[in-house]
Each structure stands twice: as structure tokens, then as C-alpha cells.
Amino acid sequence: MMKITSKHIAQLLLSTLLLLALVLVFYLSRYLSTDDTTANKLEFQTISYCNTAKGCQSRVGEGTVMLNVQPATMPTGQPLNIAADLSGFAVEKVTMEFIGRDMPMGLMPFNLKKQSGQVSGSGRYTGTGTITFCTSDSKMVWIARLKIETRDAIHTVLFELDTAGAQ
């Protein structure tokens, strides 16, 4: 009888240790996958209208954002030159992506790179992106989602793009 009891106790201890190890691995993987650079930052969102022929401008907190997309007609499947002029931010990273207003397309963001010779607290960030053809909506309304990361916050500016008047 003693051998049976000690065998069951050993199995119970082994099962308990395995369960604890799995729980430890789960929580450790969650802890390690958390991005400390963004986890503790404040997040702000601004929504703004933009006529691509005239350029886009928005006030974001104490700063300003001016966005220019060329060609302003925003042809699908062709390279679009993006320029974002930022002032009033201590920028660490700038990304942008085009998303459908009524149908998110799941596109990947692309980085905008700072141009050299810019003063601190302001700068021009440029890059190239594309929009895809939407098979179900030929009049897709696109949104340029500009994400500005600073040391303390993440500012997301959503520009609803209107190509009226663009040649």
C-alpha cells in the first residue's frame, strides 16, 4: 500500500511541476514579447480632412503636421511619394500606411525617413508607398494613417484623403 501511495504522490508532484513550468513559460513569453518602448507611452489620435491637391495640415497637440502625397490623383498600384513635415515633436520614428475608410485592406505600414539638415523639434520625413486596387469599390476613400512616435507618446493622425481637383 505504501508503494502505491508514494507512486501517486510522485505522479502528482511531477504533474504539478509540469503545470507550473507551462504557466511560467506562458507568462515569461508574454512579458518578453511586450515592447517596453511603446507599452508605457500615451496614445493620441487626431482625425483630419485632406484634399491631396492642396496638401494636408493638422494640429497635433503642441505640434503641426503637413502631409503631401504625389501624385495627388493617388493612382492605384503606382509609387506614391510621401513627404511629412513635422514641427513641435521630438520624433523617434514615423510610419505611415494607407487604409480604406470603409474597408480596411490590412496593408503594411512603411517607414518614413528623416531628411538630413533638419533642426531639432522639426523635420521632413519622406518615403514611398502604394495603394492597391479595390475590386469591390472603384471609389474607395483612402485614409493616410501617420504614426509619430516620440519618447513619451504615440500620435496617430488619420487624414481622410480627397483627390477632388487633383490633376
In tens digits, the chain (167 residues) has pLDDT values of 555 677 778 777 777 776 676 666 666 665 555 454 556 888 989 999 999 999 999 999 889 999 999 999 988 889 999 999 999 988 899 999 998 888 776 667 889 999 887 666 679 999 999 887 765 556 778 899 999 999 889 999 999 999 887 77
3-state secondary structure of 152: coil
Place domain 40-162 in its CATH homologous superfamily.
Immunoglobulins (2.60.40.10)
pLDDT by residue (tens digit) across 57-67? 999 988 999 99
In the structure grid, which three cell numbers stand for residue 161, read together?
484623403
In the structure grid, which three cell numbers stand for residue 125, read together?
520625413
Claim: this prediction has a pTM higher than 0.75: no
DSSP type of residue 109 = P
Burial of 52 (C-beta count, 10 Å sphere; 0-12/13-18/19+): buried
Burial of 74 (C-beta count, 10 Å sphere; 0-12/13-18/19+): buried
Q: Which residues pair with 70 in a beta bridge?
A: 81
CB of 125 closer than 8 Å to CB of 86: yes
